[in-house]
Amino acid sequence: MSSETKTTVPFNGTEEQKAELLKVIAEKKDENGALMPILQKAQDIYGYLPIEVQTIISDEMNIPLEKVYGVATFYSQFSLFPKGKYRISVCLGTACYVKGSGDIFNKLEEVLGIKGGECTPDGKFSLEACRCIGACGLAPVLTVNDDVYGRLTVDDVKDIIAKYND
Amino acid sequence: MENINLKINGVDVSAPAGSTILEAARIANIDIPTLCFLKDINEIGACRVCVVEVKGARSLVASCVYPVNEGMEVFTNSPKVLESRKKTVQLLLSAHDRKCLSCVRSGNCELQKLARDLNVEDEGYFDGEKIAHTIDDSAAHMYRDNSKCILCRRCVAMCDKVQGIGVIGANQRGFKTEICSAFEMGLGDTSCVSCGQCIAVCPTGAISEKDNTTEVFKALADTSKHVIVQTAPAVRAALGEEFGLEIGTNVEGKMVTALRKLGFAKVFDTNFAADLTIMEEAHEFLDRVKNGGKLPLITSCSPGWIKYCEHYFPDMTENLSSCKSPQQMFGAIAKTYYAEKMGIDPKDIVMVSVMPCTAKKFEIGRDDQNAAGVPDVDIAITTRELARMINRAGIKFASLEDGKFDDPLGESTGAAVIFGATGGVMEAALRTAVATLTNADPASVEFTDVRGVEGIKEASYDVAGMTVKVAVASGLSNARELLTKVKNGEADYHFIEIMGCPGGCVNGGGQPQQPASVRNFTDLRAERAKALYSQDAASEVRMSHKNESVKKLYAEFLGEPGSHKAHEILHTTYVKRKINK
């Protein structure tokens, strides 16, 4: 085994979310190829696909958890990690990348202690890479929710994170 | 069936329509190497080792899945083909942990053989990035080392399709793909039943049983211990394969001699406990029938099946016979009756079992398997491990004289030896049940309806005015199919035999590993079972209740079958488990 893919963020699913998921599964489970659409709906409902959600799908569809997990890890649009309160997106498009956004991304991984795609255990920050957001003139660029930060250097990373101290 | 005519390497070949090129080549005595292909189990044409050139085709084709056509011209050994196969193997080796010298599969590794056959001079030719894998040793019976995994998916297909469990699969994608369980949890934390069928089909050393041979050698060298051994019926039908003997050769006599040479104080036969199991289980069956107990009664000899039942049919654990498996019954008798007779403290006995099974390693650690206050069985090794011990000790197996099991726990009947094949436990039970119910020997002791390698078999017998309906399943997908019928009220059997491995113990997860080149064209289940049925047919005594040593055991120690004492020593309990935690 090579990687650890269990999120450390506690699962906070509600009864309403579960009821919604069960309804979706009941509607679709007898269709051919139902797993993919059910996973998509589950991600819509919960925002991500933690073990708790995948276990519900496995139990209800009567298929091995491994089969669910195999599909969830194969397709990149499925996420095993929740999004943080503050979603940090670093543009790794060509212009930003040439201007050093890769280093900024690495610095964020280091400062937050998480990898791309993951969320900090307190649920505050999640980190992801994105492609061009149309602000090449400000390269390198990152966004925190709707805030845009441009013309960055690696040294700016700590100050940006410090702004979100609530 | 219509035949198709084609040319392979310039030679005319006629093959049944629907054959693959691989099968047609076989008819023409041409071997095409394969790696991922397992007939009827893993037919995915993915590894590209079996590629051949087809005249007019745009690229090389995978012969394992490519059907033959009329007039087709195939070349299996052209320079283009050989170069392609070699490159494929070199690419596989680029991410492979090539510590062959210390690998358990060195000498019978399918990848190693391919590299040699294809003249791979430089195994590091494409060396590049490697993923650092950790070994999963969380399960009681095996470990997985993905640094030796070639992603052929033979284990995945076995677990999912044949056994219907599916606790392993391919996760992630591309270079990061690896075979493991959901959320990278250890196999020991899943609903894996320890059947070991994944090990039996792994072409490399990526999965293997936990080797306990060093522990056995250590015990044998400890003069303060009385080290005794029992061997399961199916071991004698397959051990010879490890020493180059033909598949289906019964090597009971040589095996006994080898065990004696290894230094075991007594060499006993699990068959003795198989006869004992029949005494207890037949009694339990008749008791349930007479007193309105839970039916169908389902056999409990196969620990892989037991764990499967606990996970997947927890509401049917009351149907399971409370009889311990023969391995455990043997250990329990060895550490009570035998210990008492010999005047040995059960704590000083080391009970080693040789089993065709990896789930036996799990079973020895189960609760309620310690009749004398110490584990009934201390070390369970597989047929493969015994072969390793024999080789390590420098014993020339093929030239050994035949030996005989020791008394009193070495006596057994023809009914016991067929426990190793699917239907065997049922047949043995029927022989004794019919004799008991009718107070006479059955006209024929052969109940052939329950023999053979079919996954599910049914039969009914009129016995003393009662119609007894029985069913037999082997392989856990078949077990699921059968039990689902029972659960839904679509079938009403009185007695069901289930064995976890397809074909029963002869094809157990601890038996010698035959490469796909053999498995794809030989029915191991049938060939090995023949050895057991021949031994049964040649036996003077063929009914368990006529085993004199077993009779004596009851007279001197246990009382009657189903007695309080028999229950304390020979019976056990089960737990209800979930599929997902």
Q: pLDDT tens per residue, chain B (581 residues)?
A: 789 999 999 999 999 999 999 999 999 999 999 999 999 999 999 999 999 999 999 999 999 999 999 999 999 999 999 999 999 999 999 999 999 999 999 999 999 999 999 999 999 999 988 999 999 999 999 999 999 999 999 999 999 999 999 999 999 999 999 999 999 999 999 999 999 999 999 999 999 999 999 999 999 999 999 999 999 999 999 999 999 999 999 999 999 999 999 999 999 999 999 999 999 999 999 999 999 999 999 999 999 999 999 999 999 999 999 999 999 999 999 999 999 999 999 999 999 999 999 999 999 999 999 999 999 999 999 999 999 999 999 999 999 999 999 999 999 999 999 999 999 999 999 999 999 989 998 889 999 999 999 999 999 999 888 899 999 999 999 999 999 999 999 999 999 999 999 999 999 999 999 999 999 999 999 999 999 999 999 999 999 999 999 999 999 999 999 999 999 999 999 999 999 98
Nearest CA in chain B to A57: B580
> Domain A86-163 is of which CATH architecture?
3-Layer(aba) Sandwich (3.40)
Pair type for strands A147-149 and B3-8: unpaired
Q: Do B165 and A64 touch (CB under 8 A)?
A: yes
Give domain B94-209's CATH number out of 3.30.70.20, 3.30.565.10, 3.20.20.140, 3.40.50.720. 3.30.70.20
- Residue identified by tokens 């023949």 is B530
Q: Is B580 on the interface with A (CB under 8 A)?
A: yes
Predicted pLDDT at B273: 98
Predicted pLDDT at B526: 97
Contact yes or no for B371/B569 (Cβ under 8 A): yes
Q: Which helix (H) or strand (E) holds B329?
A: helix B326-333
Which amino acid is present at B360?
A: K
Predicted confidence band of residue A6 (pLDDT cuts 50, 70, 90): low
Q: Do A66 and B166 touch (CB under 8 A)?
A: yes
* Greater pLDDT, B463 or A144: A144
Predicted pLDDT at B214: 98
Contact yes or no for A62/A73 (Cβ under 8 A): no
Nearest CA in chain B to A70: B171
Q: Which helix (H) or strand (E) holds B379?
A: strand B379-382
Predicted pLDDT at B220: 98
Beta bridge partners of B67: B20
Pair type for strands B495-499 and B466-474: parallel
CA neighbours closer than 13 Å in the CB half-sphere of residue A52? 17
Extract the tokens encoding B433.
Answer: 């049940």
Predicted pLDDT at A7: 65
Nearest CA in chain A to B159: A64
Predicted pLDDT at B449: 95
**Angle at alpha carbon of residue B352, lines to B349 and B355, rounded to 5°:** 160
Task: Give the residue among B486, B526, B519 at the shortest CA–CA distance from B503.
Answer: B526
Q: How far off is chain A from B518, nearest CA to CA, in Å?
A: 30
Task: Give the residue among B178, B172, B169, B167 at the shortest CA–CA distance from A75.
Answer: B172
Question: Which of A2, A67, A74 lies nearest to residue B173, judging by beta carbons?
Answer: A74
Nearest CA in chain B to A51: B183
Q: Which of residues 133-152 of B touch A (CB under 8 A)?
A: 133-134, 136, 146
Predicted pLDDT at A156: 95
Predicted pLDDT at B463: 87
pLDDT digits over B506-564, tens only? 999 999 999 999 999 999 999 999 999 999 999 999 999 999 999 999 999 999 999 99
- Give the orientation angle of helix B213-221 with respect to helix B383-392, to 10 degrees: 50
Predicted pLDDT at B219: 98
Q: How far off is chain A from B144, nearest CA to CA, in Å?
A: 9
Task: Give the residue among B102, B151, B505, B103 at the shortest CA–CA distance from B325.
Answer: B505
Q: Which of residues 64-93 of A touch B (CB under 8 A)?
A: 64-70, 73-74
Q: How far off is chain A from B195, nearest CA to CA, in Å?
A: 17
Q: How far off is chain B from A23, nearest CA to CA, in Å?
A: 21
The values of phi and psi at residue B353, to 5°, are -120, 145
Give domain B3-77's CATH number out of 3.30.1330.10, 3.10.20.740, 3.30.160.20, 2.60.40.10. 3.10.20.740
Extract the tokens encoding B512.
Answer: 């010698």
Binning chain A into helix, strand and coil, the percentages to the nearest 5 are 45, 10, 45
DSSP category for residue B335: I
Task: Report chain B residues whose CB lies below 8 A from the CB of A51.
Answer: 182-183
Length of chain A: 166
Length of chain B: 581
Predicted pLDDT at B94: 95
Task: Report chain A residues whose CB lies below 8 A from the CB of B581.
Answer: 55
Rg (C-alpha) for chain A, rounded Å, is 18
Q: Is B132 on the interface with A (CB under 8 A)?
A: yes
Question: Would you list the domain boundaries of chain B?
Answer: 3-77, 94-209, 214-570
pLDDT digits over A88-136, tens only? 999 999 999 999 999 999 999 999 999 998 999 999 999 999 988 899 9
Q: Do A65 and B182 touch (CB under 8 A)?
A: yes
CA-to-CA dists, residue A141 to A52, A127, A138, A164, B226, angstroms: 35, 14, 6, 18, 75
Predicted pLDDT at A4: 53
Query: CB neighbours of B268 closer than 8 A, spacing ≥ 6?
Result: B228, B229, B230, B231, B330, B334, B405, B406, B409, B410
pTM score, two decimals?
A: 0.93
Q: How far off is chain B from A37, nearest CA to CA, in Å?
A: 19
Task: Report chain B residues whose CB lies below 8 A from the CB of A78.
Answer: none
Contact yes or no for B236/B250 (Cβ under 8 A): yes
**Angle at alpha carbon of residue B195, lines to B480 and B236, rounded to 5°:** 115
B214-570 CATH fold: Rossmann fold (3.40.50)
Picking from B577, B580, B581 by the largest number of A CB atoms within 10 A of its own CB, the best residue to mutate is: B580
Query: CB neighbours of B67 closer than 8 A, spacing ≥ 6?
Result: B18, B19, B20, B21
pLDDT digits over B52-108, tens only? 999 999 999 999 999 999 999 999 999 999 999 999 999 999 999 999 999 999 999
Task: Give the residue among B316, B301, B311 at the shortest CA–CA distance from B363.
Answer: B301
Q: Do A4 and B133 touch (CB under 8 A)?
A: no
Q: Which of residues 100-159 of A touch B (CB under 8 A)?
A: none
Predicted pLDDT at B163: 98
**Angle at alpha carbon of residue B486, lines to B481 and B490, rounded to 5°:** 95
Q: For A37-64, b where at least 16 C-beta lie within 10 A, e where not — what string?
A: ebbebbbebbebbbbebbbbbbeebebb
Task: Give the residue among B59, B52, B73 at the shortest CA–CA distance from B7.
Answer: B73
Q: Report how far residue B129's alpha carbon sits from residue B95's, in angstroms, rounded to the nearest whole number.
A: 7
Q: How far off is chain A from B496, nearest CA to CA, in Å?
A: 25
Judge if the upstream peptide bond of residue A140 is cis by omega within 30 degrees of 0: yes
Q: In what order do the strands lie in the sheet with A147-149?
A: A125-130, A86-91, A142-144, A147-149
